[in-house]
Structure 1
Amino acid sequence: MPTEILVRYGTIPEVARFDAAEIAPIQRGEMVLVNTHRGMQLGEVLDPVRTSLRDPTFGTPAVQETAESLPKVIRRALEDDLAASRALRVEAEQEFGDWQQRIIDWNLELELIDLEWTFDRKKLILYVLNERGPDCTKLALQAAAAGLGIIEVQPVNADGLVTVPAS
């Protein structure tokens, strides 16, 4: 039976459920590697999902996520993983000024507030203060045209991450 846990991940945090059956038992505060919609990321275990949250009296969510469909925890984070994560954070801090300058040079109405690499270093996530709009798309396209790798532009507002509107 899968062991569902809540994991917080990302520089501007998101919380999601993961299947930790293969590494159970797991404790609050442990660091784990998880595969997210963004790629591989380091996350902190918040808590096991209580069975009461599965109680049918709470109503049925629009999308029923079964335990079998949950993404799996890759593994507990090793000391090397924590060191690699710190190195990625330092690298992101060093690149911050370069990305601010690119946004100015490309005449985009965006304010860069943070950036982070996914743990596998396959994607750079740029957090910008803005709503989803043409400047976010332009930033991603300009970065791709300049050969700067896979870039995800994630708008942020006072309520947190700006999601893609439901169509």
Structure 2
Amino acid sequence: MRDDRAWSGFAEISFKGNRKAYFSYTSLNLRPGLDVIVEADQGKDLGKVTAVGVIAERKCSSSNGGCATPAPEQKVLRIAHSKDIGKSQALRKDEDRVRIEARKLVAKHQLNMKVTDAEWQFDRNRLILYFTAEKRVDFRQLVRDLASKFKARIQLKQIGVRDEAALLGGVGRCGRELCCSTWLPELKPISLQLAKSQGLSLNPSQISGCCGRLMCCLMYEHRTYVEARRRFPREGLKIRTGKGLERVITIDIWNDTVLLRDDEGTRRTLTLEQLEIEVAQ
């Protein structure tokens, strides 16, 4: 295995929202938390170092889209100066105005789309507008009007409602900041089966997040539930115990108990250990 020095020219850089990219660098002493100027599409951008060396390379390899390792094509140019950071902060403030103006143009063209956020590239050569839409939108004329108004190359990027929540952030029903906007590396599909396997209410209002989709945290303990349930008989299964044939009604993995019912409707609760002894006799 290579040591960190072998990968010292590899860095993960984060930008506004949850956008991240990977860059190579030379003759720079980078560490997480530093603001840097990087090469961008026909220009330059400012981002923050979130990982370097082997850690950055592993995160890159495990990302959805993969990446070119160990030497990405684009490079970190230099460490950002205080005036660069000041300029970036001014651009972040201006993005509120841009979003409002973009929404006015969308309304003017009567397009069925919602502009969620805006992001200036550091050199103002490019403007990214994030939007959500239920159907395909013909925004060719809108792009021309936006380019004319903001004097920059326009990139309209359609995102889903889960991506929108990750971009804007918020507070979940647990009282903490949304996982998708703080630390969750990627958004994986969440199915209703995850809630069923954990015995949770299937009421959408109780298992849905701010985005209106099933909460990402449903998958956090799913494996624990699956492994715990393997020790128990399947619900609905008929098994022969000391009292004859009985059907498994419910199981309780927390209290290690099983609820049984015989053909006459009589119910009783046994611990898993007691059940195993009766079945073995």
> Shorter chain as normaliser: what TM range?
0.7 to 0.9
Identity %: 24
SS in 2 for 1:42: strand
**Equivalent pair of 1:7/1:15 in contact (CA under 8 Å):** yes
1:52/1:26 Cα in 2 relative to 1: closer, same or farther (>3 Å)? closer
1:34/1:53 Cα in 2 relative to 1: closer, same or farther (>3 Å)? closer
**Equivalent pair of 2:11/2:57 in contact (CA under 8 Å):** no
Out of 27, 33, 39, the position equivalent to 1:35 is 39
1:157/1:67 Cα in 2 relative to 1: closer, same or farther (>3 Å)? same
Deviation larger for 125-134 or 80-89:
125-134
Counterpart check, 1:21 vs 2:19: no
Out of 105, 108, 111, the position equivalent to 1:105 is 108
Shift of 1:14: 1.9
1:132/1:82 Cα in 2 relative to 1: closer, same or farther (>3 Å)? farther
**Equivalent pair of 2:36/2:46 in contact (CA under 8 Å):** yes
Q: Which amino acid aligns with 2:25?
A: A
Q: Which structure exhibits the higher relative contact order, with contacts defined as CA atoms closer than 8 Å and separated by 6 or more residues?
A: 1
Counterpart check, 1:44 vs 2:85: no
1:75/1:105 Cα in 2 relative to 1: closer, same or farther (>3 Å)? same
Aligned mates of 1:67, 1:32 — CA distance in 2: 20
Within a 5 Å distance, the mapping from 1:1-167 to structure 2 comes to 3-9=9-15, 11-23=16-28, 25-37=29-41, 39-50=43-54, 65-130=68-133, 133-144=136-147, 146=148, 148-149=150-151, 150-160=153-163
Aligned mates of 1:98, 1:78 — CA distance in 2: 30
Shift of 1:51: 7.4
Larger radius of gyration between Structure 1 and Structure 2: 2
Q: Which amino acid aligns with 1:3?
A: G
Length-normalised TM-score, structure 1: 0.75
Deviation larger for 43-52 or 149-158:
43-52
The residue that corresponds to 1:165 in the other structure is: none
**Equivalent pair of 2:22/2:72 in contact (CA under 8 Å):** no
1:139/1:132 Cα in 2 relative to 1: closer, same or farther (>3 Å)? farther
**Equivalent pair of 2:35/2:46 in contact (CA under 8 Å):** yes
Structure 1 residues without counterparts, runs of 5 or longer: 162-167
The structure with more strand, counted as a fraction of residues = 1
Length-normalised TM-score, structure 2: 0.47
